[in-house]
Structure 1
Amino acid sequence: MSHANLSQPSPADPETPVIAQGVDDEPLTPTQRDLRGRIGLLFAALCIGYTLFHLLVMNLFPLETWAYRMIHVTGGLVIGFLGYSALTQSDAALKGEFGLARRGWPEKALLALALAGTGYAFAMIAYAWLGWWFAGAANPPPFVFGSFGIPLILGTIAAVVAGWLYSGRDRSRIYEGDWLLGIASIAMLGYILFVVGALRLRAGTAMAQPGDLFAAAAGVILILELTRRLTGLVLVVIVCVFIAYSFMGPWLPGFLNHRGYDASRFFTYIFTDQGILGAPIAVSSTYIILFIVFAAFLQASKVGDYFVNFAFAAAGQARGGPAKVAVFASGLMGMINGTSAGNVVSTGSLTIPLMKRVGYPAKSAAAIEATASSGGQILPPIMGAGAFIMAEVTGIPYTEIVVAAIIPAVLYFISVYFMVDLQALKLNMKGLPRAELPKFALLVRQIYLFLPIIILIYTLFAGYSVIRAGTLAMISAAVVSWLTPHRMGVRQVLHALDLGARMSIQMVAVCAAAGVIVGVIALTGVGARFSTLLLTIADQSQLLALFFAMCISVLLGMGMPTTAAYAVAAAVVAPGLVSLGIPVLVAHFFVFYYAVMSAITPPVALAAYAGAGLSGSDPMKTSFEAFRLGLAAFIVPFMFFSSHELLMQGEWLDILHVFVSAMLGMFLLSAAVIGYYFGPLNIALRAVLLAGALAMVDGGWFSDLAGLAIAGGLFILQRGLPTRRPAG
């Protein structure tokens, strides 16, 4: 059925213009396979089963925590290795790629070693489980758990190396080594589930068994390899640096020094709820996957297209219309799907060409999309899963976090909107012709398609649990689809469940990898020593300590997906801020903002790079432009540090005062950045206006008066003198 029908109240009006068609469809990533035929059906069945498992456990059949999280991680590993290759894939099968000529003895030897090692380990674990099920043997013979470990490690490494060297480029075929990595993942899961009770007591201690070490080490290798396939090398390198730090502590200087740990204690500790099975995976296995499946239901029911079409109908005709649409639509979609760069690719494929069409330079179009998509991560109520991780880590109720996020998010998006509008005014841009836009009057009749979002927000604040609220919103998306031409039947529901699993795999890998870092921080105590360092700096200047914390949060987040970036910053930086006397909520929002904004911070700005790829602009110039447009996000945390009212803390009159003055400050900041107020601004006037903006965002009455005086003076100056519009 055509996507075009989405913006019509009925299929009877085929002339209605439609701009958004499949904007939230998930494009294939460079390493992602496109499996068809029987293999494709098998893979889809695995994905549907994986999603259903989570929904049933969360809503109907609770499972022991460690077991549930281990199945969550292992299922992600199996689906990930089958769905993503070790090498970049091609859309066209290469003839002769898999011929006998390729099967040299080195590849055969690697695959044989991988098969022997993973096969033996799997057989031993299966022997243990079968003995328990059919003979009641709670303790298998010593050789079972005493001999599987080394073959599992060697087989896993051989399969990983074979994938690096010999994986094919055909998206439609699964490499043999990847099947073996799936088997290794299941063997690792089988061992840990079998001994999970004892493992809880002995992990990270001298009582840890050799089998514990080998299963945990194999698990870390598998997680890092899947993370590399899904996100590239940056996060893997960062994790490896932290792992190396665990062993090299005795030789490091200053606050980095620690006594060091042997392999047995390190790896077994890492595979506990202090590490891989800790807060990131706790959130990934519940809230993140739930809301990713919710996004998949919105996508399968074509509601995502409606959101974007609605935005175009409302703002597409305004000056710089496509950019304003990008601000709202990309923010909304980014809030739900939880990944800045991924949202840039999906919605940016529509908005970036249209922005270029109305006159935005290529780098500006890409930067606007990247800035808006990144802002989706701070937009309540979902906040790209950040709110859930913050609630898990801090113990602060989720609803309190969502309420606190409202004003900062409004300030960020209003700042980006002002910049977009002022740039359009400065460059004398027009919007899209009304004839090419969806008809607002027709789309308003389908306003009920916002019901899933409204139901989600209402149930959350009505006291329902997050899981129950997300499940009801998901069901409502399917029900609402029956009022459109895109009715969700059994096939569409299965497609949404399948899609939900595919979309969640990256988050599973990223959260597991982040868990390794969190585990290292907890094991070595480097977080506490970092807190001491911040306290020392704060003795000289608290502002300097905050600036240092900002830099570390951005640095830790560079090249990392936002969820992992916040999880790491929350473990390293936030405790230090709390030790300075900053309230827990303020401290975590402070590091959360900078972790999110690392996606548009040069030199490693993933969201900006994704936008540059679509616009054809220079990636580095685009990242600097995105940083400039998102400047508000680098100022807002300092604002709510000095004025807690911005996080809804305090009296309503004080909150209103700070909010209004901050809004005006955002307008002045935007004008200073763009260089256009009530006319063009030279460098000197931009500097003066920037000072006025900073005065307005300070939150004090005297600073507000100073900011108003500057704003009023420049207004009189520009309105009292003849203005000229710059060329172009």
Structure 2
Amino acid sequence: MNLKPLGIGRFLGTGRRRSFNGAARTALFSAAAVVALGVVYGNIFALPDALLIGILFVCGIFALLFLTVGATRDCSERPSILDWLLSAASLACGIYFYMIRSDLVNHITLLNPLSPYMLFFGTVLLLLTVEATRRTTGLGLTVVVLVFMAYNLWGHLIPPPLGHGYIDFGSFIDTLMFTTDGVFGVPIQVAASYVFLFVMFGSLLSHTGGADFMFQLAAALTGKSPGGPAKIAVVSSGMYGMISGSPTSDVATTGSVTIPMMKRLGYTPRFAGAVEVAASTGGAALPPVMGSAAFILAEYTGIDYRNIVLAAIIPAVLYYLGVYLQVHFRAVRQGLRGVDEVDPVLETLKTGWVFIVPLIVIMIALLLGYTPTYVAVYGTIALVVASFFTRKTRMTPTKMLEGLGETTLRMLPVVGACAAAGLVIGGLTMTGLALKTSSLVLLVAGSGSIMLLLVGAGITIILGLGMPTPSAYILAAVLVGPAFAASGLPVLSSNMFLLYFALLSALTPPVAVAAFTASAIADEDAMKIATTSVKLASVGFIIPFFFVWNEALLAQGSGLQITVAALGGIVAVTLLALAVEVKMNAVVRIVCLALGAAALSPYLWLAIPIIVLALIAGLWWKRKGGLPFIRVPAPPTLDAGR
């Protein structure tokens, strides 16, 4: 059915992100900076009421969201009357809930009936949440939210076992809008604390020149080696993605430089875009910062964030090693060399050491056991102080205003997604559907752990198609997590498993959001980029199954077990990269994959001999001048400045 004549089709996608200039831009960034300062104040001074904090945070964000994100892609650059009304309604809801804050504290859910005003403002804020979700995330997550809302209200008409008892509208609003089990649950609580503060750290880092430093450092480390620009993309995108936590923004930021460089070197547009997508996607799993979904994992599971960071180190390193080696082997096989004009590493560090200091402070604070809130605060303070040591990086009032304002504006789609996830979680809790879904997953998967993991991975990727990573993870954790727990899978490894597949959904066809961003830069079909990026990110699809089997890959176990797991991972990733990128006999390819799987085994008697054998083979090949079957004479180098 063609919806264009009806005008409905315009509302099926995300809204237009408006750009402001002059006085309007100053006013917007000033208001956004005020919201940011309010969030910082609330986190540092620990206002006691989590529900009130969540409500005020959401209302403040929504007031800005409806002015900066239009209703449709082709809307006016200036906010419409409707946008102003929705923004005013968001502020009105925030003011009302603040005025009745004492009533919120004393309110007993489903026991004390809602007053007419509470029901009215709760309903208004619910509708604002749905519209904010549609404008920022598009149709996919919005449809999921609407389906669950319909199920909550009319699911009693469905026969058992999927049906549930009758839920009146007042109870529906009470649960979703007046408790921390709905909109203002774990996702929003995390977004209003850890995520916001780390996004602020990343914004201020970028405004002091941190993003440029990361690119220059990556160029200094890898630029002259075979396939230098592609390796620069891998390293710089990983470092920037660690701070931003968003594959799409990472692709847009670093890809605008690295993709054209790779194309000039000789890579096809398809491969250049895929390298950037694969590298950017893994950034949110890279310690010490990681992305918003990792903070939600910590809050949802109750696992200390420091332990999650430590557990994530080996898988993240293996992921990037896999992408890096595939780029390297392809560059050597095709005779693609690096660039000549790059600054030495020491010269780069001499001018950019101020950006290393806050990262060191963050790692020390994590190791000392501080909460993520204070880790982000200490890292930000260290960044601001260190920036004053050089004229180029100095944090001026203008940079501070821009950084704080940009932090709030970056959070707009995150808050829309997290609020929507809260709606779904509240509905699942209210109706008991989560337990029913878990039972269904166990029924489909049977008693085998492998089949259960495959089903869980499939559900997570499907949930993540067109949906932000935090929403995909938390929904998968609620729907699939109980089935994992019932089968005896450890909490840490099973949730890290879901986190990885929620991340990888950003590059998985047919709705690979990161690939669509790269396609505009590379001038190539998004699906071609997506399929190639899946190949480059193959380690990411495989390693989660192995760290569920061998928890030493998550730094769980003795020192010997962890060391063997790390070395076995390096061997396995190298063999996988060879099997994917190098032309070889099918039997040899199968042997490589089998040896790689064995190297990741939790059985030391099996893994250690393979690691030793791989080390001997590597030394022998190095002595012989490398792998003969992929050596190709290299053409002249490329000047990165041209």
Post-superposition shift, 1:185?
A: 1.1
Shift of 1:39: 2.7
TM alignment of 1:401-550, pairs within 5 A: 401-432=308-339, 434-435=340-341, 437-446=342-351, 447-484=353-390, 485-537=392-444, 539-550=446-457
Query: Of residues 692, 699, 702 in structure 1, which corresponds to 2:602?
Result: 699
Among 468, 471, 476, which residue is 1:561 paired with? 468
String of CA shifts for 1:106-156, please: whole Å, max 9, x gaps.
xxxxxxxxxxxxxxxxxxxxxxxxxxxxxxxxxxxxxxxxxxxxxxxxxxx
2:226 is paired with a residue whose SS is coil
Is 1:81 matched with 2:70? no
Matched, 1:236 2:221: no
1:359, 1:429 within 8 Å by CA — same for their partners in 2?
A: yes
Residues 1:638 and 2:623 are matched in the alignment: no
Give the one of 109, 121, 124 matched to 1:218: 124
What code does the residue aligned with 1:54 have?
Answer: V
CA contact (8 A) 1:662 1:699 kept: no
Q: Deviations over 1:252-271 (max 9, x none)?
A: 56753323533222232111
Compared CA separation, residues 334 and 717, structure 1 to 2 (3 A): closer
**Matched residues in 2 for 1:631 and 1:298: separation?**
31
Q: How far off its partner does 1:636 sit?
A: 1.2
Change (3 A) 1:709 1:285: closer
How many residues are treated as equivalent by the alignment? 614
- The alpha-carbon distance between structure 1 residues 397 and 274, as it changes in their structure 2 partners (threshold 3 A), is same
Select between 222-231 and 587-596 the one with higher mean Cα deviation. Answer: 222-231
**Quick one: which of 231, 242, 257 aligns to 2:163?**
257
Any conservation in 2 of the 1:322–1:355 contact (CA below 8 Å)?
A: yes
User: What whole-Å deviation, never above 9, does each CA across 1:618-648 have from its counterpart, x for those lacking one?
Assistant: 1111111111111111111111111111111
**2:458 aligned with 1:551, yes or no?**
yes
Give the superposition deviation at 1:275: 1.1
* Corresponding letter in the other structure for 1:693: G
Corresponding residue number in structure 2 for 1:182: 87
Distance 2:48 2:35 in 1: 15
- Counterpart residue number, 2:272: 365
Q: Cα distance, 1:726 vs. partner?
A: 7.9
| CA displacement at 1:320 relative to structure 2 | 0.9
1:319-365, Cα deviation, whole Å (9 max, x unpaired): 11111111111111111112111111111111111111222221111
The CA distance in 2 between the partners of 1:37 and 1:521, in whole Å, is: 46
Q: Which residue of 1 aligns with 2:190?
A: 283
Structure 1, residues 574-632: CA drift from partner, whole Å, max 9, x if none?
Answer: 12211111121122111111111111111111112211221111111111111111111
Give the partner amino acid of 2:553.
L
CA distance in 2, matches of 1:575, 1:591: 12
CA distance in 1, matches of 2:249, 2:160: 39
Question: TM-score, normalization: structure 1?
Answer: 0.79
User: Partners in 1 of 2:627 and 2:381 — Cα distance?
Assistant: 59
Counterpart Cα distance in 2 of 1:704 and 1:492: 52
Q: 1:36 aligned to 21, 40, 45, which one?
A: 21
Tell me which moved more, 707-716 or 217-226: 707-716
Structure 1 residue 316 corresponds to structure 2 residue 220: no
Amino acid at match of 2:584: L
Structure 1 residues 442-494: Cα deviation after superposition (integer angstroms, max 9, x where no partner): 21213342111111111221233322221121122222222232321222212
Query: Alpha carbon RMSD of aligned pairs, Å?
Result: 2.7
Q: What is the alpha-carbon distance in structure 1 between the residues aligned to residue 163 and residue 529 of structure 2?
A: 39
- Deviation, structure 1 residue 689: 2.3
Which amino acid counterpart does residue 539 of structure 2 have in structure 1? A
Structure 2 vs 1, CA of residues 254 and 711 (structure 1 numbering), >3 Å: closer, same or farther?
farther
| Residue number in structure 2 paired with 1:56 | 41
Which residue of 339, 351, 363 corresponds with 2:246?
339
* Alpha-carbon displacement from aligned partner over 1:8-33 (angstroms, at most 9, x marks no partner): xxxxxxxxxxxxxxxxxxxxx97122
Deviation, structure 1 residue 50:
0.3
Q: Is the 8 A contact 1:521 1:527 kept in 2?
A: yes
Q: Which amino acid aligns with 1:245?
A: Y
Q: Does the 8 Å contact 1:315/1:324 carry over to 2?
A: yes
Distance in 2, Cα, partners of 1:430 & 1:66: 56
| Cα distance in 1, alignment partners of residues 349 and 630 from structure 2 | 40
Cα distance change, pair 584–610 in 1 and its aligned pair in 2 (3 A) = same
Deviation sequence 1:173-220 (CA, Å, 0-9, x none): 222211111111122223333444445635456823443333222212
Q: Does 1:348 align with 2:259?
A: no
Whether 1:67 aligns to 2:55 is no
Which residue number corresponds to residue 689 of structure 1?
A: 592
For residue 279 of structure 1, what is the amino acid of its counterpart?
V
Aligned equivalent of 2:640: none
2:159 and 2:553 map into 1 onto residues whose CA distance is 40
Query: 1:301 deviation in Å?
Result: 0.7
What is the DSSP-based 3-state SS (H/G/I as helix, E as strand, rest coil) of the residue aligned with 2:506? helix
- CA deviations 1:383-413 (Å, max 9, x no partner) are 1123321121111111111111111111111
Contact map agreement 1:691 1:707 (CA 8 A) in 2: no
Pairing 1:671–2:589 present: no
After TM superposition, give the deviation of residue 424 of structure 1 in Å: 1.1
Task: Tell me how far apart the structure 2 counterparts of residues 359 and 670 of structure 1 sit (CA, whole Å).
Answer: 21
Give the match for residue 628 of structure 1.
535
Identity %: 34
Measure, in 1, the Cα distance between the counterparts of 2:580 and 2:111: 55
Distance 1:61 1:651, change over 3 A: closer
CA distance in 1 between partners of 2:124 and 2:350 (Å) = 55
Which segment is superposed worse, 263-272 or 707-716? 707-716
| Contact kept in structure 2, 1:204 and 1:267, CA below 8 Å | no
Q: Residue 717 and residue 653 in structure 1: after superposition, are their counterparts in 2 closer, same or farther (change >3 A)?
A: closer
- The corresponding residue for 1:24 is none
Cα displacement (A) at 1:41? 2.6
What corresponds to 1:400 in structure 2?
307
Secondary structure of the 1:357 match is: helix
1:111-150 equivalence runs, <5 A: none
Distance verdict in 2 for CA 1:598–1:723, change over 3 Å: closer
- The answer to whether the 8 Å contact 2:71/2:135 transfers is yes
**1:444 alignment partner AA:** L
Aligned partners of 2:242 and 2:291 also within 8 Å: yes
Preserved CA contact (<8 Å) 2:273 2:529: yes
Q: Which runs of 5+ in 1 are unaligned?
A: 1-28, 90-166
* Shift in CA distance, 471/199, structure 1 to aligned 2, threshold 3 Å: closer
* Cα contact 1:527–1:576 (8 A) shared by 2: no
Q: Check the 8 A contact 2:60/2:94 in 1, yes or no.
A: no
Letter aligned with residue 457 of structure 1: M
Structure with higher Rg: it is: 1
Moved more, 476-485 or 364-373: 476-485
Cα deviation, residue 42, structure 1 = 2.2
Cα pair 2:15 2:135 within 8 Å, conserved: no
Structure 2 SS opposite 1:664: helix
Deviation by residue 1:208-237 (Cα, 9 ceiling, x = unmatched): 344333322221221222222222222212
2:445–2:455 contact (8 Å) kept in structure 1: no
Tell me the SS of whatever aligns to 2:505: helix
Distance 1:325 1:293 in 2: 25
Is the Cα–Cα contact under 8 Å of residues 282 and 316 in structure 2 kept in the other structure?
yes
